[in-house]
Structure 1
């Protein structure tokens, strides 16, 4: 029994020592974290925001629940224009804050970071949360008014954009329908023409049929060549020439008789 009591006493002393050392380590880490935050603050004042961010991150490695380190890290990231990375640090502060003033400050900075990213709806929500915790903050109230105005402008712009898109879609649809109507009309006219041609071939008189037939007949009939006379015309021409020749010969004979001296018998 005494041996068991001795063992239990030794175990208790070991556990107590371990807890004591752990507590000392925790205190040491907290002190180191505070030291790192002070270094970060000095760098921040010198506008060395990147170096300040490194110090704050090291402080959080020593003490992850060190809310001041989170908040200051958010501010340093904000100054580096790393707005997206700054927001989670402010959110940690808003959740761990013990006073309404601290919550209001965290939400205010969330709103500012969202405004820089042109995310106006989240900015409006953040400023409203800040005013719920600190209704007397005029700066937050002013920022809220600006964010609401920009949000309304954005919505109107999107509305106009959607309206233009709908008008364009309707116009494209109308043009498509008109093209389809024209296509259907052409197809219908083509079908009607095919039906008419087929009907004409089945027995209806084709108005061009007789003309084509006559043209074909005329084409087959031999035409007299230009300048060639018919036998009748040649016969008439020969007779006319013969008659002319007779007249000419008769005139020549008369002309000869007038020109020749006629002998007269002498009266002795």
Structure 2
């Protein structure tokens, strides 16, 4: 199969420049040297068949053969690389990247590593991951410093990365300005509300300020609590005194026993008086004498 490099045009918002892709199918001649095995031979045959189908634009059958080749021998970089290329052409960038990465990991030649890293950079470019694209293109150039396609894509990735960072800085500045404006608007609204409250108090001097009213109410509650406590303290000795008075007899109040003794004494005195009166009557009574004559 003839080898060719295909230019893939990437529509970019800021710079309309082509990203060059190295998506040639790798045939058996370009395979990494490896000790032949039955699985190795089967994988090579399936890869070669997939390459043929790609040339016939039978992408579905080609993809199936590449997958079977990988299953037969996962250490064959050609099948992984060519499957990644087929998936890349179908815009399946996520799965394509995985196959390019696998090819780079198992490849034993610099040329295969170079092509795998080059197309990994192309996937990052499609996803606008320009910083990662720069690193992938650098890895590709380490394995093949003379490749002009990789060098061109690296320069393009750096330019897009610079513009992306500038745009991010602008967005950050705009976000900060918007945040500061929101804070200023809130502060102005707060000041306006405070001024409105002061003006309302000025218009109606008899209307107490909310804070002053709260402080006044707090003082009244505290004063009331102190008064209640003081009243309670004053009430305690009074209650104790009344209780003591209840327990002790009043000065002018006689007990039942004292009243009975007093009545007896009065009765005795009365008897004595009556006896004296009776004695006086006897003594004062004239004795009638009888004459003998």
Which band: TM-score by shorter chain? 0.5 to 0.7
Superposition RMSD in Å? 1.9
- Say whether the 8 Å CA contact 2:80–2:103 is kept in structure 1: yes
For 1:51 and 1:28, the matched residues in 2 are separated by 23
SS of the residue corresponding to residue 47 of structure 1 reads coil
Which of 176, 187, 190 in structure 2 is aligned with 1:166? Answer: 176
Structure 1: which 5+ residue stretches go unaligned?
1-25, 199-268
2:61: which partner in 1? 51
- Say whether the 8 Å CA contact 1:50–1:80 is kept in structure 2: no
> How far off its partner does 1:99 sit?
2.1
For 1:30 and 1:93, the matched residues in 2 are separated by 15
Which of 133, 152, 157 in structure 1 is aligned with 2:162? Answer: 152
> How far off its partner does 1:59 sit?
1.1
- Say whether the 8 Å CA contact 1:49–1:80 is kept in structure 2: no
For 2:59 and 2:91, the matched residues in 1 are separated by 10
1:89: which partner in 2? 99
> How far off its partner does 1:86 sit?
0.7
Cα distance change on mapping 1:87 and 1:166 into 2, 3 Å: same
1:180: which partner in 2? 190
For 2:109 and 2:128, the matched residues in 1 are separated by 29
Q: Which has the higher helix share?
A: 1
- Say whether the 8 Å CA contact 1:50–1:76 is kept in structure 2: no
2:135: which partner in 1? 125
Structure 2: which 5+ residue stretches go unaligned?
1-35, 209-293
Equivalent residue runs for 1:192-203 within 5 Å: 192-196=202-206
Cα distance change on mapping 1:197 and 1:151 into 2, 3 Å: closer
1:63: which partner in 2? 73
> How far off its partner does 1:37 sit?
1.1
1:98 aligns with 2:108: yes
How does the TM-score come out when normalised to structure 2?
0.55
For 2:86 and 2:184, the matched residues in 1 are separated by 56
Using CA pairs under 8 Å that are at least 6 residues apart, name the structure with larger relative contact order, 1 or 2: 2
For 1:112 and 1:158, the matched residues in 2 are separated by 22
- Say whether the 8 Å CA contact 1:94–1:107 is kept in structure 2: yes
| Aligned residue-pair number | 173
How does the TM-score come out when normalised to structure 1?
0.60
